Structures are given as C-alpha cells and as structure tokens.
Amino acid sequence: MEILRVEQVSKVYGRGETQVNALDNVSFTVNKGEFVAIVGPSGSGKSTLLHILGGVDRPTSGTVLIEGTNIYALDETQLAIFRRRQIGLIYQFFNLIPILNVKENITLPLLLDNRQVDDKRLDELLETLGLSDRVHHLPNQLSGGQQQRVAIGRALINHPALVLADEPTGNLDSKNSKEIIDLLKMSNRLYHQTLIMITHDHNIALQADRIITIEDGRILKDEVIRS
Amino acid sequence: MLRLAKNPEVVKLALVLTVLFMFVLLLAVSITLFSGYQLQQTLSTSQAAFIGAVLEAYPDAERGLIQQVKEADQEAIQTGEAVLARYGFSTDHLLYGGEAVRQTTKLNGLLYACLTVVVFTAPVGLFFLFLSRQYRKIRSINNYLRRVAAGDYSLAIRDNAEGELSLLKNELYKITVMLKEQAESLNQDKIRLANFLADISHQLKTPLTSLIMLSDLLEDDPDEKVKKEFLTRIRSQLKRMEWLTTSLLKLSRLEAGTVSMKKDTFKIKDLVDRAVEALGIPLELKRQTVQLEGDEGAMMTGDFNWTLEALINILKNHIEHTPEQGLIRITYEENPIFTKISTADNGVGIDPQDLPYIFNRFFRGKNASEDSVGIGLAMAYEIIKQQGGDITVNSKPHEGTQFTITLYKQPIS
C-alpha cells in the first residue's frame, strides 16, 4: 500500500549566479512498512529531500503526498499539526529539549495534542529503549546513544505514518550505532512502521529493503534489496 | 480547563460569550445612568414649579426657600409634612409622584425586561447553535465511517486542527489506513494462493510423469534386474514427493499464520548444536568444518523446534553452496534488545541479481543445485518472520555468504 508519493520535487536555493539546484525533479513512491535507505555524497540533496518529506522545508515545485494528503497544500498551522501527528523525525544531533527530562521529551508529541499518556505503553517503550532507569534524567545527563534512543522514543510514541531519520548514527560509535539501527529495524518489522533513513554507512544501507542513491539532486539508482 | 481550551469550538464559544457579557454589562450601566437622569429631570422640574408658585405669592420667602433647596432642615420638613397631612397627602404620594415618575418607572421596567430577555435568550441560543454545529461535525464523521464501511477508503478526513474532534478524526483515519492495508494484503493473498497452487502442481507434476512412465514400463514385465532398478527409481521419486508435500504443508501452515509459535527460553548453543548434529551426514560427506563462536550461556527466546528447522534449512543451504573441505562459521550473541545467530561460509556466494529474491518460495538462483526446489530458505524466512524476527543475507560471489537471524526480545505493544 502506497504511503508516500513524491512527484517531481525540485528545490532551488538562491538565484542568478549563486543558484543551487538542491533537488532536481525527484519522483518516487514508498509503500507502507518499507525500510528505505537514502545514500549519496555530501551535498547531494539527501537532507533537503528528507526535510521536504517531513514537511519541514517547502519544495520550490512538485508535490509530496503522505497517506494521500498533499502536505504542502496545508497552511502553516495545519502542517505543524500534521507533522506532529504523522511524522517522526530523528536527527543526527538528537535535537532533544534540554530542559525536559527523558519522559517529557518522549511524550512531548502527545502533550502538545493534550492527549493522555498511556503509562503502560510508555513503560514498555522505555524498557525496549533501555531507558527505564533514566526516566527523570535530563538530556545532558545521558550518553549520545541514550539521547538518540530518547529521540527514537519521541518519534515512535505517536505511531506516526512515517519515520524519517537523518543519519541517526552519524554521531555515535559503532556499538551504539548498531543498537540504534536494530531498534529502528525492530519498529519497522514489528509495527510495519515505514522508515526512511539517510546514511553514509554502506552496511546500514544494506539492511534496508531498498536503497535510493542520490547525486546532484537526482535519483541515480533505486534498487530493491529484498522483496 | 486548559484541556478544554485546546478545542477551537470551545474557544470560539467562550469568545462570543465574553463579548455578549461585555455588551450586557454596558447596557445595564447605560440603563441605570439613563433612568437616574430621567428621575433627576422630573424632580428638578417639579421642584422648580413649586418654588415658582410660592415665590409668586410671597416674594420675600426667596431666601428661606433657596436655603431649603441647598440643605433641607428638619424643622421645615416637619412643618411641611404636617401641612401636607392636613390635605390628605401622605409621604407615599407626594406631589412629585405624578405622571412623570410613573412614566420613568414604566420606562425602567421596560428596559430591564429587555435586558432580562437578552441575558437569557442569547446564551441559550448560542448554546443551541454550538450544539448543532458539533452535531453536524459528528454527523460528517458518521457519514465518513459509513462510506469506509462500504469499502471506500479514498476519503480524507483529517483536518489537521487542534482539539478533540480533530484528534478523533486523526485516529479514525489511522484505522482506515489499517483497513485499507488489510484489504490490499487480502487481495495479494488471493493472487499468492493462486501462484502457490500453480507452483505446487508444477513441482508435483515432474515426479508424477516419471512415475507414470516407470509403471507403464513395468507393465511390459521386463526382467528382474530392470524391475529392481525401476523400483528404486520409483521409490526415490516417491520419497521426493513425500518430502515435497510435507515441506509444502509446513510452509503453507506457516504462511497462513496458523502455526502458533511458542515462547521457549533456551541456550543458543543447544539450538546450534542440535542443528549441526542433524546435518552430520551431509557435512561429513563434503568434509566441511563447522566453527562455533559465542557465549555459551547466551539465551534465546522463541520457538525451539521451529527455529531449529529454520537454522537447519539455512545450514543446508551453506553446505550445498560450499565446496568440499569448506568452512562454515556460526556466531551468536545476546544483548538486551535481541539475540542474533550469524552463519557464514566461504563458498561460491550468491549472484547479486538473485539476492533480493532468495527468500521467495520456489525461487532458484543461478547457482542452485538440480534437486533444489526453493523451499528451504522460504521456510526459514517465514519461521523467523512469524516470530517478529529478521533474517538478512550478505553475499559476495566467490567469497561466501552470510545469513543473520535476529530474534527481538519482548517488543513494545
């Protein structure tokens, strides 16, 4: 079942002599439950693409449909709410709120919607993330791997339609990287969670169902690894 | 209260009520001021007329009268009241109480009645308007659900707004997506079943044809030696068919999801040992070495027998694609999130083009042996998938192949 449709998306920064075509007519679709790795050299447009998929950055032209909703037809407020409910974003540098503790950071998407936190589910999530004894710690009291696990918890708590990860292991050592990737894969396998991940690590990319290679803002290759 | 304030409808209602409240307050203040002014007017006119009449008869009294207008003294009031009493005027209908005061009272009454009507009817009206709007929204959700129930999944219901109703729409949409997904996978299942049946018939047809042929030849009553040979061939074909049907039965049960996987906890080493033991003969025939590596105490949670079957199938694949005297390495590990068993060989490897399909049922790669049907790996894949696990493959031609089985510990619900 198709969950994401990207149609002729282009992104242009600057104009005239300094014009940069970060994305040039990119089109592809992703099915529900797919794990897609996006690879490519620095400056190829990977992150720009991910930000456009996540509703963070507007494309210059083209449309992005998530579960049939054209997200750039929404106004700013609607888009912010859509993002909070349907998209989980995981960044290289975690982007946790420094003054909120682990539990508050994870439940933030729910609290913004004024929703009750299901304590049982939260406990299970914390257990799986290996954060049960860190519930009241602040981000700066955690290691990098733990901080990234908090970010994963925050991305998963809402059962989003789409989880987008921008080099989630780029800032971690190999042991932590492995753990983070396994957590993400687990959510992908067990909950049929659609996952799109940017990575520089070829071994991580090979664990995906499909690898999209981007160069100079275009899709160079789109290979299915396993069906 | 704060929760309630998140709903845009409630905020709107509160806003309208506040405006209404301010309006009524303003109206009440102006009515009070206006009626006070009216009363003042009536009193002044009446007093002026009275003073005028007295002064016309007694011009000398001017000073005394003005004095009383400025500040009435008790003595004068008593004298006045005594005089009035003599004419039958009590304090109740003093000479001010004429038409003018009645007029003022009537006006006041009317104004206050109007105010009451506004104060009561406007909020009630607003409340019903609010209710009918909310019900209209609920009705639209109802219509949406009716259409979803009728199989129309194409509708968008999310409005991406704040508030409970929007959240409800959001959750309903998630369920719709789930239904849509299920409907689609049901359709795919139908196609898969048809393909499956075609595959099975094809797989059974080959040995059947050969059996029919052999039995035809036996009818001609050949000599004993040929008979014996034919019988051996018949038996081997029947064995193959038996194996095929058992495997297919297992696989179809797995794919149908009718197998309930147990949650045993066991030592990974026990599992690996049992698998290697079961493959003793083919390993010996090809004189291959198996190397184990891992923590002896590492535990695994899953269905022992089925996982064993998966592991055996994978190892069989390794044995088949590794030359004589080759090496098969098995490593395993346990950590808080998952347990992992990796198996690697130094054999011929899998063609990169075949790699995405090796777990598909009845898929035979370029390096597949003649006897291969393409069931072993498909079954291993199903077994691991049924347990919420993961099975991956890495392979380089002429360097070897590595399979990795990952079983996750208790997942998040």
Percent of the residues in chain B that have a pLDDT greater than 90, as a whole number? 10
Provide the token pair at A75: 């106004």
Provide the token pair at B311: 């592991």
For residue B237, the model assigns a pLDDT of 84
Under 8 Å between Cβ of B348 and B398: yes
Give per-residue pLDDT as tens, A66-87: 988 899 999 999 999 898 888 9
Give per-residue pLDDT as tens, A96-116: 999 999 999 999 988 888 888
**Measured distance CA(A81)–CA(A64) in Å, rounded:** 16
Provide the token pair at B188: 């795919």
To the nearest whole Å, the CA of A121 is away from the closest chain B CA by 7
- Interchain CB distance below 8 Å, B173 and A67: yes
Of B70-79, B83-92, B126-135, B377-386, give the lowest mean pLDDT range. Answer: B83-92
To the nearest whole Å, the CA of B242 is away from the closest chain A CA by 29
Task: Name which of B157, B410, B11, B413 is nearest A85 in CA terms.
Answer: B157
Q: Please say if the pLDDT value at position B170 is more than 80.
A: yes
In angstroms, the Cα distances linking B22 to A111, B9, B28, B128, B389 are 34, 20, 10, 21, 65
Under 8 Å between Cβ of A23 and A9: yes
List the single residue in B180, B360, B413 with the smallest CB-CB distance to A124.
B413
For residue B171, the model assigns a pLDDT of 86
Helix intervals (H) in B279-375? 280-285, 304-320
For residue B224, the model assigns a pLDDT of 86
Q: Please say if the pLDDT value at position B413 is more than 70.
A: no
Looking at beta carbons, which residues of chain B come within 8 Å of A182?
A: 337-338, 406
**Mean pLDDT over residues B183-199, rounded?**
84
For residue B412, the model assigns a pLDDT of 43
Q: Please say if the pLDDT value at position B337 is more than 80.
A: no
List the single residue in A114, A130, A186 with the smallest CB-CB distance to B6.
A114
Interface test with A, best of B10, B387, B412, B413 (most A CBs within 10 A): B412
Q: With a cut of 0.85, is the ipTM above it?
A: no
Under 8 Å between Cβ of A33 and A192: yes
For residue B174, the model assigns a pLDDT of 85
Looking at beta carbons, which residues of chain A come within 8 Å of B161?
A: 77-78, 81
- Interchain CB distance below 8 Å, B390 and A185: yes
Question: Residue A28: pLDDT band by 50, 70, 90 thresholds?
Answer: very high
**Mean pLDDT over residues B305-321, rounded?**
91
The larger pLDDT score, comparing residue B312 to residue B104, is at: B312
Q: Please say if the pLDDT value at position A129 is more than 60.
A: yes
Q: Which DSSP string corresponds to A151-184?
A: HHHHHHTT--SEEEEESTTTTS-HHHHHHHHHHH
For residue B342, the model assigns a pLDDT of 93
- Interchain CB distance below 8 Å, B337 and A183: yes
- Interchain CB distance below 8 Å, B356 and A225: yes
**Measured distance CA(A110)–CA(A99) in Å, rounded:** 17
Task: Name which of B354, B282, B293, B358 is nearest B315 in CA terms.
Answer: B282
For residue B410, the model assigns a pLDDT of 63
To the nearest whole Å, the CA of B412 is away from the closest chain A CA by 5
For residue B90, the model assigns a pLDDT of 64
Q: Enumerate domains of chain B plus CATH numbers.
A: 2-149 (no CATH), 164-256 (1.10.287.130), 264-408 (3.30.565.10)
Which region holds residue B362: left if phi is over 0, alpha if psi is between -120 and 50, else beta? left
For residue B355, the model assigns a pLDDT of 82
Provide the token pair at B107: 């006006």
Question: Residue A196: pLDDT band by 50, 70, 90 thresholds?
Answer: very high
Q: Please say if the pLDDT value at position B86 is more than 70.
A: yes
Q: Please say if the pLDDT value at position B93 is more than 80.
A: no
Top mean pLDDT of A4-8, A19-23, B13-17 is at A4-8
Give per-residue pLDDT as tens, B130-139: 888 888 988 8
**Mean pLDDT over residues A167-186, rounded?**
85
**Mean pLDDT over residues B99-121, rounded?**
80
Q: Please say if the pLDDT value at position A65 is more than 50.
A: yes
To the nearest whole Å, the CA of A125 is away from the closest chain B CA by 6
For residue A1, the model assigns a pLDDT of 84
In angstroms, the Cα distances linking B240 to A102, A179, B160, B282, B380 are 58, 44, 60, 17, 20
Name every residue in B having a CB less than 8 A away from some CB of A.
Answer: 2-3, 6, 154, 156, 158-162, 166-167, 170, 173-174, 177, 180-181, 184, 335-338, 355-357, 359-360, 385, 388-390, 392, 394, 406, 408, 410-413
Under 8 Å between Cβ of A23 and A10: yes
**Mean pLDDT over residues B48-77, rounded?**
83
For residue A227, the model assigns a pLDDT of 65
For residue A113, the model assigns a pLDDT of 82
Q: What's chain B's average pLDDT? A: 84
Task: Name which of A212, A226, A207, A222 is nearest B356 in CA terms.
Answer: A226
Q: Answer yes or no: CATH 3.20.20.10 is held by domain A2-224.
A: no
**Mean pLDDT over residues B77-93, rounded?**
75
**Mean pLDDT over residues A129-139, rounded?**
90
Question: Residue B92: pLDDT band by 50, 70, 90 thresholds?
Answer: low
The larger pLDDT score, comparing residue B2 to residue B104, is at: B104
